[in-house]
Every structure is written in C-alpha cells, then in structure tokens.
Amino acid sequence: MVFKPQTTDFELSPYTGLNRQSWIEAAEYLLGGIFGNIKDIEDPVVMPRYETEVTYPSKVAPEWRRKAEVFEGLCRSFFISAPLIHIEPELVLNGINVRDYYKKQVLYAVTPGADNYVLNYSDMRALDQSNNPTACYQQTVETAALVICLWLCHEEIWDTYTKEEKDRIAVFLTDFAHSNTVPQNWRLFNMLDMAFLYMNGYPIDEDIMRDHAQNILNYYVGDGWYRDGQSFDYYSCWAFNMYTAIWNNWYGYEKEPYIARKFEENSNELMRTYPDFFDGDGFTNMWGRSGIYRNAATSAFDGNLMMRNSTVDPGLARRICSGSLLQFLGRDDFLWNGVPTLGFYGPFIPLVQGYSCAESPMWLAKALLCLHLPENHPFWTAKENNGTWDKLVERETKVTTLDGPALCMANHKANGITELRSGKMVKDKSDSHGIWNYGKLVFNTKFPWESKPAADVESQQYVLQYMDGGDDVQASITPNVMFWHGEKNGVLYRRQFWEYEMETEDHWRTAINLADFAVPYGILRADKIRLFRRPIRLTLGSFGFPDNGTEVITREKDGYKAVILKGHDHTGKEKQLAFTIMDGWSDIKLVKSTDTNPDSKNSIVVYAETTRDKQYGYEPYFLISQTITKEDLSDFSEEDLFPVKEIIYTDPQKCGGYGPVTIRLKNGDEKIIDFYGIEGRLEL
C-alpha cells in the first residue's frame, strides 16, 4: 500500500503538493497501520515481528529488555499520535479512541503491578546481574519521547490526569532523570525528563541538569554538528538539534541562558548548510547508524523553528520535509503488516542493529512533530522553494565542505542528486556494519549503500587481498579507519587504513590516500595506494545498482574503459550508472548479488580490479576512476563518460610515486592532486 494524500495544494507547494492537511493524512496513515495490530484498548503497542536474530528481545532476554520493547512501542507511536490527538481529540482507529488509549497506556507503563508496567530505573538495577556501576537501559531513551508527547497533547491528556496520576508519572520520570545515562546524546533524555518535571512544578537536581547540559554543549564541533560518541551522523539532527530546542523552551531560556543561547546559535549555524544535505527531490541520504529512522533527519528543521530567533527558510524547510516524507511513504515496500519495516525502504537486515526492535522504526515520527506548529505558522503558509536547487545552472555542482564534522556535500544540478563524502571514522576491523554505515567513499541519495555483494567486492569501498602466502592470504579486508584532511583547490583529501588498530604502528598497515572532486554527474577519484606488503589484489566497487532487468553496455576510448548500467529501481523509476576506469586499473567487471541492496532484492555492482606484484617495485601508485549516475535512461555524452583529456605525472615513469599529478579535463578544468604534506593535518 502506498500513501496517497487526499488533499494537495500545488500553488502553495509546487514541488510536493503537500500542505498541513496532507501531513495530517500521512500521520493518520502511519498510525492507522499501527492500530490495525492493536485489537483492544488494553493491549500494548507490540507489533508483528519477522526478524528475530539481530533485533531484541531475544528468546533469552531478561525481563527489563522485554519491557523495553513495550515502552518503545508506546512512546514511539505516541510521537505520531500526540500531535493528532491535539488536532483531532476524538480520532478513532480500529474501534479505539486514540486519546483514551494513550491516556490509559501511559498510566499502565508507570504503575508497578500493571500488566504493561515497563519498570523504572531502580527496578531494572535490582534485576540486573551485571554488577555494572554505570548501567543504563533502553527505557531512558523512551522517557524523553514520553514527556515530549505529554507536552504536545497536554490539554487532552496530561491536564486531565488527577494529581495522584501526575505524581505517579513524575515519580517514574524522576527515577530515570537522575540516574545513569550513556555519555553522549542520551544525556538529552535525562535533561528533557528533568525539564518536564521542572515545568510542571516537581523538584529536580539542577546540578545534574547543568552537568548534562554543559557536556552536550561541549560535544559541539562547529557548523551546527555535534560529535556523538566517536561518530558524526544524523543524531546531530534528530537528537542534538531537536531536543536542545525543546529543552531551551522548557528550561534553558529561563534557567541556563548562556547554554540556551549557544544551542540556538548552533542550530542556526546548522541551517546555513543543512538543506544541502538533501537532494533536488528532498531525499534523505542513507548514511550513519539507525538508518531505520529514515526521514527523522528532517526534524532538525522543526527544532530550529522552535528557537526564539530561528533563521531557517520555512518554505525550503517544508519542501525538504515533504520531499523526504514522500521518499518513504510513497513506496509499496515501506510497511510490513502496517508498520515501517526494519530497513531503509523495504526490510533490509544489513542495516539493522541489535539495539532495535520491531517498534524502533517509529522513531521516524520525529519528522511528524512539525504538526505541533499551528496552521498559521510560516512553516505551513510559506510557498515551497527549493533553495540551492533553484539557483544552480545546468551542469553546475555546488560543493560544501565542513571540516568540523568532516562532511562534504555535492549538489549536482545535472541529475538532482546529492552525494556525501565523510571522514573521521574509527571502527573495529571486524565491524562490517559500522564500516558500511560510515566508511563508504561516497553516499548517494538515489543509490543507497549496498552491503557485501561478494567476498572480494564492496560498493563504494576498496577491498584488499594479500597474495604472498601469509596466514591471511586470500582474506578480503575493507578499510576500517578514515582520516580527514579537508579540501584544497577543489579537491577533497582523506586517508583510509586497512586493519587499523592501536597496538600496531600505522606504517605496518596498508593505506590509501584519497583524493576526489565533483564532476557534473558524480565524483572522479585519483587515489594513491601506500603499501608495506606485496603482492596484493585490490578492487573498488561502484554504487549498488538495483537489478530489475538491467542493460549492460561497455565502452572504450583513449585507453579507458566504462561500463554503463541502465534499468529501474523497485518503484519502476529509471536508473543509470556509469563506472569508468582510467590509470592504475587492469580491468572492470561486475558481480550480481541478492539481498544486499536496500532498494531491490537483486542488484549489480560494477567494480575495478588490479594487482601489485613486487614487494618494493616501482609500480603505478595512482588509481583513477569515476562514477556518474542519473535518473533517466538518456545516454551520457562521450565527454561525461571519458572526461579526462590528459593526466600529467611528475615522475618520468608516470607511476605517481612522487610529485603532483595534474588531471586536465576536456571541459577545460584542471585539478592538481598533491598529497605531499597531508601527513601534517590528518584528523579524527
């Protein structure tokens, strides 16, 4: 089933047609699917489950873990229902009054002895046999959703509770608010719990609040982004830049004006560039962990609009939010038994993490919190505009590079696609899931990352095999660490290491220096390998291509070779990809795969391969290639497929061992690739 709005307005919203009523219909569509699995007002929000190996709770899960699923279902579905309850208090779904359901289930969740009681923090510590002094639990996450939702529909639910019922909820929240939490974005959950209590007249420990708030503030790295643990990802947007806005209004502006002001400044700084993370259709990139939250990434726009001095363009914000909403709700594989799948589009297990359960994808409902904005708010009344995309001329690419979070966006007018290049990645060498989420060379809004299609090939990643007869001979390994250097004269510089670990000096690790730059339809790479051990075999995969009947075309010119794929994605939309290999590569091939692509069951990855044989031989160091894509089947021009006019090396052997390498393009552009000196500025 595909969401089709009954109400549209293409004068107000020329790009998407969606207005506030369309969004209300979308929320009812999502909530209706959930309530289709709830038979009685006494039943918890526990949804049908098709995956049991990765997600929780397992068959041997402790009681607190099973209770966590009940609380996730309640609070994350409440994200969808809370704005609707305020707009339409008498809404009935599957024969159940939605307002009455949540009023009842919230009380059950916090009441010891009730069937749907989810345990408070103290109860879980008593049950926990781990003896971990810093133990914290999933329920802490959901308490933040609970207080936000009680605020959104306070007139319909919170204000109607008796004093005894409010006190019961407050005792439950107080236990979580002042207890252990994870020392990253989770601090915000405790902060919101305390802020809600304070706002409603309950005592809190203001020193604990201040300690959490100063820590959150000091995770800031610039450009509106916060470091969440080690990584940078959408948690900056659906946590740091959403929850801080709510905290400011509930507590910060009054009690901690300095911190609140900095949170607001950071949100406005994010808005300077955040719209350019989305493509010409408003699509969200599949990047970073918790991809099952999908368009929750757009909640940062609502967060900024909640600040006292918001700077985001409301017409642009709604255009992106609506485009990203349609990206998912417009697909027939998005729901399974009425509930968002454990995937990015349809079910996709390589994306899923152990901290998720069947109800976790409802976190995407953060994108729907914008429904709390009144109907006369500029977010709903401003005419849609497309920001950068309205300003770019034909074949122009806008590149934005942010050194703080190590992110580089390329907005390609030629195909309407946004490509993201990231850095500052540190993952264990066995963490293939983390490497897929953060270690791809390029993330593309229309070609989401593919997991491993073959033992020796990865999409948008280099894969290395040692061939010298050692214990690890023939083992295929993928880089697990990426350092960031930044942009210089239009070229982005990074470095990746294979098998990086602190116990071994990095000179005993194979590495590759990455240099790439934007061309009208994609990215051209000019990377330089740094080997300590040979012989090796190396492959580089392009994007995963949905294989629903694919035409494969091979072209050669000037000693270069290209493979072009033409076909359609799961929805029938036209797709095209071309992968061109130039210097340093020996051949270009393709591999077919099943269940490794988030869009379609079958897929194809085109890849390049090469070997280096001599332990200390002076062989080609540079690997030059290009991937370009578009959303139609019209032929790429010859210049697009083979854009390079000349490659000029400093060394007479033309291997690129030393000195700058100049790449002259047929359109007159020239890029100089020079890795000399980047050793002095490599960042994590």
Q: Does 401 lie in the same domain as 379?
A: no
Is residue 1 assigned to a domain?
Answer: no
Please report the pLDDT score of residue 612 as a whole number.
Answer: 96
Tokens read off for 191: 């902060």
Q: Does 73 lie in the same domain as 109?
A: yes
Is residue 134 assigned to a domain?
Answer: yes
Residues 525, 657: Cα–Cα separation, whole Å: 17
Please report the pLDDT score of residue 474 as a whole number.
Answer: 67
Residues 89, 157: Cα–Cα separation, whole Å: 10
Is residue 6 assigned to a domain?
Answer: no
Answer yes or no: pTM beyond 0.95. Answer: yes
Q: Does 615 lie in the same domain as 520?
A: yes
Determine the residue type at 652.
P
Q: Which of 362, 384, 406 is the last residue of a domain?
A: 384
- The answer to whether the CB of 108 falls within 8 A of the CB of 115 is yes
Q: Does 402 lie in the same domain as 341?
A: no
Closest CA to 114 of 42, 176, 173: 42
Q: Which of 366, 384, 402 is the last residue of a domain?
A: 384
- The answer to whether the CB of 539 falls within 8 A of the CB of 461 is no
Is residue 5 assigned to a domain?
Answer: no
**Range 139-142, long-range pairs (CB < 8 A, 24+ positions):** 139/64, 139/67, 139/68, 139/71, 139/176, 140/176, 140/179, 140/181, 140/186, 140/189, 140/190, 141/72, 141/186, 141/189, 142/68, 142/71, 142/72, 142/74, 142/75, 142/76, 142/118
Please report the pLDDT score of residue 230 as a whole number.
Answer: 85
Q: Which residues contact 304 (CB under 8 A, 6 or more apart)?
A: 241, 245, 267, 268, 270, 271, 310, 311, 312, 317
Residues 456, 478: Cα–Cα separation, whole Å: 9
Per-run averaged pLDDT (10 residues), the chain, 684 residues: 96 98 98 98 96 91 89 98 98 98 98 96 91 94 98 98 98 98 97 98 98 98 94 95 98 98 98 98 97 98 98 98 98 97 97 94 97 98 98 98 98 98 96 96 98 95 91 84 97 97 92 98 98 95 98 97 98 98 98 98 98 94 98 98 98 98 97 96 95
The range of the structural domain enclosing residue 362 comes to 20-384
- DSSP three-state, residue 319: helix
From the CA atom positions of the chain, what is the Rg in Å? 26
- The answer to whether the CB of 368 falls within 8 A of the CB of 83 is yes
Q: What angle do CA 242, 335, 630 make, to 5 degrees?
A: 80
- The answer to whether the CB of 319 falls within 8 A of the CB of 281 is no
- Alpha carbon of residue 645 to chain centroid: 37
Sign, CA torsion 69/75/79/85: positive
- DSSP three-state, residue 670: strand
Number of domain units in the chain: 2
Q: Where are the alpha helices (DSSP H) in 251-399?
A: 253-255, 257-273, 299-305, 314-329, 378-381, 388-391
Q: Does 415 lie in the same domain as 379?
A: no
Is residue 247 assigned to a domain?
Answer: yes
Q: Which of 344, 366, 384 is the last residue of a domain?
A: 384
- CATH code assigned at 271: 1.50.10
Is residue 575 assigned to a domain?
Answer: yes
